[in-house]
Amino acid sequence: MALPPLSPPDNFIGYLVLLLESSVRMMRNGQETWTWVFDMTGYESRNSPRFDYTLRVLQLVANHYPERLNKVFIMDAPTLFWVLFKVGRRGGGGG
């Protein structure tokens, strides 16, 4: 029985897992964590990933790599991003 073709979110998540696992294998001795840089130059709602993609990425990192993410730098984010970020932190007890 053949497996059904993967939907775009599944392809993306599969690629992300491959990327994350490869980065773990490439870490030097003593290096345990990641630093991520998000450059949001030109970000607009029409070119952003669907919310369910974003949620799956966050769940993947939180559930399978919780100790790996050390720092995240966000560059050139639009004002709306920071408003939502601050509201989310406040609502989540972080701010």
3-state class (DSSP) for residue 4: coil
Nearest CA to 22 out of 65, 62, 56 is that of 65
Q: pLDDT digits over 3-13, tens only?
A: 555 566 678 88
**By the 8 A CB rule, do 73 and 36 touch?**
yes
3-state class (DSSP) for residue 1: coil
Token pair listed for 17: 């897992």
Q: pLDDT digits over 15-45, tens only?
A: 989 999 999 999 999 999 999 998 888 888 7
Q: What is the pTM of this model?
A: 0.65
| pLDDT reading at 14 higher than 60 | yes
CA distance 56 to 47: 18
**CA R_g for the chain:** 16
